[in-house]
Structure 1
């Protein structure tokens, strides 16, 4: 470790769905010290499909991680020149006039829907219908937490002084100011991603998210100051009072910067609970009609993204339902069940001998009637075939997303950079390279989000002239996986001739199935519903 009096460090917090991490990062991209707090209970579900957590749970975990890091760092703690924070997206907090939470935070995983909403204004309905997005808009309105709270907990909404993203709430706890980065404002909120500001009241899209202007808060660009750590927060965290908190962005956005994907020639693949493919562009480009490109952490740029909502969650699903043997063996050997399963991927040939998996388990804005499917079972298939089919299926969906981004943006991606739990597997990285026909890189650390967040502060404090220079200096490729030409040709044929045709063929059946479910569910819906849990 460096001695006291060495170069500057950035103190970075990364608050994820499963754990909180605190890191001290140096200008060379080394994480000198790290403290991680794994959540015993990541969220609670008072009712099916709900995902909630006490907002102060995240603050307590941040404080504990910070104090643990301070103890580990010893005298090097004093070398920190700024603080940054990155965290999960689309997680909202209602606070009262005193800044105290009024109800549990609603996480991005939450799937509750609001009913009994006001009608969409006629002008908006016509505009949405004209571009074929009316059904998606209705779904988005139902899935917006702000609308659910207004309908089901009007007394909470009336007391709500500010409707915050989790990042904004943690910024408030650190500095006492309701301020957030535009690169954090990703979720079911009235934010204009193209203009990087809150939507105007005249915006037709404003009817989707029923949040009054006075409940919103100040927005700054990445690299600008959120505020200074106040005395009370310093006492809780051990951070020196008055240290500057620099605005960065969401965990996915910081991850893309942390992987050095600062232009459209590189794509960031995130193999996490939600799997994503994301690029960085200088001009605004919607990945799909009416789906915004998010403000990038790279100032003035955008991150068009395609996400597979239940991406590597499917691995957890497979472990729970089919991998009891590997889970027991993993406990005995002190390794992860994923490691044992990934070693067995080589037992199954590319294409899984005709087994094809579509990972669209959860409806979304672009696919409001989506379902997952497994096509092509035969008596030769085993559960390991199914495991490899899941990995291939997620990759096919990401490849489909990347091709959409390239077509809409008129660019060609030349390299892939992978992060997230799945990217730690050599086998999965090689399969990915073979399927995409592009080299896949892993960088020197798994903490790409924290690394990207720290880059912003080093640029803001003048250690580097800009974020691109910081990324160039702080990222090192650790592993490179080259595509195997023969396997890529096979995957390309399967993608074009099979995968792309499955969903359109099944979609009419999905719609009929939904109609039948709604028809027979209608009498039950008329029964009294349980009162919402405050």
Structure 2
């Protein structure tokens, strides 16, 4: 390798490639690099070539105009060949097959970018269903059959089904990470109580926080533990403490903040599209929490489905393989046969109306006031 792999968080990835090292012969994505290491072939998935790549989205291949390619700091001979999701990248290298104890003719199949393959694996195929991914980065995505230019409140990205698209709402940075941060603050006390009950720390917190009323007795959390670069002054905020509040109020308030924040992001996207949804699929580590999903259901006033299995991304990758091998009749048939719902959460109407009122009259207005204070503290504390 002539240059280290750049993390997706590296700011340089938001700009076209700059050729500074003549030892660099090829420029590719992480999926292209991994595919090369697996197969020895210079192929990549078109479904992972977003933003700073000279991709013609109409044909899912590189632009045929050398001038356009040059605008991205590249030459055609520097780029891997592209295949579509659900097609073959190559065959696993013989020496690698021997090392792993595999047959030497095992094909390696292309998928797409991480969130797009999660959408596929979560079974999102209807226009009125949205996926919420409850991970360190919390995002939500809908599936559509057309691209969208000049979006303001969402990011249109390539789907894991060729010539389909997924729209990603604005995200929550350090979303479920905030729960881990809070668990670490409690420390050994949490571990001890959970151990005595024979349950996980998350289960213990959820069990105790279920007894806290909706709204956490007035404790409001604003989730800016990692602000966006254009608003560096923002910090995480908790408002409204009094003698009623316990650590379980804090925990529930964090979950409610996640739910209200992602709802507002989704509402912004749907308003721009002039569309609605009528059900939610929740995936990721946070989807293991019954309390989190019930709060989501109450916030949106919609049913929330938790899928069976541990990884929607892995399921999406498997569906791409099923399609290639012809085990099922295409992507949608594979979804119907392999994606199952483990549990569905239905909204409590009283809680739904409460959260609507809280969101409209408090949460949406909070940053108007906290921003002004944080602008004063930022020069002092950074």
Q: Distance in 1 between matches of 2:117 and 2:272?
A: 23
Change beyond 3 A, Cα 1:171–1:480: same
Mapped pair 1:481 → 2:381 = no
Q: Which residue of 1 is the match for residue 271 of structure 2?
A: 407
Q: 261, 264, 270: which one pairs with 2:133?
A: 270
CA contact (8 A) 2:154 2:168 kept: no
1:379 pairs with 2:243: yes
**Match for 2:220 among 337, 353, 356?**
356
Indicate conservation of the 8 Å contact 1:287/1:408, yes or no: no
- Shift of the alpha carbon at 1:329? 3.5
Gaps of 5+ in 2: none
CA 1:233–1:366 in structure 2 vs 1: closer, same or farther (change >3 Å)?
Answer: farther
Instruction: Describe the superposition over 1:247-278 as per-residue Cα deviations: whole angstroms up to 9, x where unpaired.
Output: 11233222211111113211111111111111
Q: CA deviation at 1:417?
A: 0.8
The equivalent residue for 2:33 is: 169
Match of 1:107 in 2: 7
Cross-structure match for 1:58: none
- C-alpha contact 1:248 1:254 (8 A) present in aligned 2: yes
State the alpha-carbon separation in 2 of the partners of residues 202 and 348 from structure 1.
61
- Do the aligned partners of residues 212 and 447 (structure 1) sit closer, same or farther apart at CA in structure 2, a change above 3 Å counting? same
Moved over 4 A (4+): 145-151, 191-204, 209-215, 331-334, 365-370, 508-514
Look up the match of 1:325: 189
Q: Deviations over 1:422-450 (max 9, x none)?
A: 11121211111111111011122122211
Cross-structure match for 1:82: none
Taking a change above 3 Å as real, the CA distance of residues 399 and 212 of structure 1, as seen in their structure-2 partners, is farther
Q: CA deviation at 1:408?
A: 1.9
Deviations 1:197-247 (A, max 9, x none): 56878779x98x766765443332211221111212212322321222111
Residue 469 of structure 1 is matched in structure 2 by: 333
In structure 2, the partner of 1:137 is none
- Paired with 2:54 and 2:357, the residues of 1 have a C-alpha distance of 40
2:252 counterpart of 1:252:
no
In 1, Cα distance between the equivalents of 2:149 and 2:359?
Answer: 24
Secondary structure of the 2:205 match is helix
Q: What is the SS of the residue equivalent to 1:438?
A: coil
Unaligned runs of 5+ in 1: 1-94, 97-101, 113-142, 522-534
The offset of 1:375, in angstroms, is 2.1
Counterpart position of 1:73: none
Q: Distance in 1 between matches of 2:73 and 2:66?
A: 11
Residues 1:144 and 2:12 aligned together: yes
2:159 corresponds to: 296
SS of alignment partner, residue 304 of structure 1: strand
Distance of aligned partners of 1:149 and 1:370 in 2 relative to their CA distance in 1, 3 Å threshold = farther
Matched, 1:282 2:145: yes
Looking at structure 2, the residues matched to 210 and 381 of structure 1 have their Cα atoms a distance apart, in angstroms, of 56
Deviation at 1:144, TM superposition (A): 2.2
- Residue in 2 aligned with 1:241? 104
2:144 partner SS: coil
Judged with a 3 Å threshold, the aligned counterparts in structure 2 of structure 1 residues 194 and 397 are, in CA distance, closer, same or farther, namely: farther
Q: TM-score, normalised by structure 1?
A: 0.64
290-299 or 310-319: bigger deviation: 290-299
State TM-score, norm by structure 2: 0.87
Cα distance in structure 2, aligned partners of 1:286 and 1:504: 30
Provide the rounded CA distance (Å) in 1 between the counterparts of 2:243 and 2:77. Answer: 62
Between Structure 1 and Structure 2, how many residues are aligned? 379
- For 1:419 and 1:193, locate their aligned partners in 2 and report how far apart those are by CA, in whole Å: 31
Asked if the contact 1:193/1:295 (under 8 Å) is kept, the reply is no
Pick closer, same or farther for the CA change 1:146–1:481 going to 2, 3 Å: closer
Tell me the alpha carbon deviations over residues 55-108 of structure 1, each in whole angstroms, 9 at most, x when there is no partner.
xxxxxxxxxxxxxxxxxxxxxxxxxxxxxxxxxxxxxxxx34xxxxx43x4434
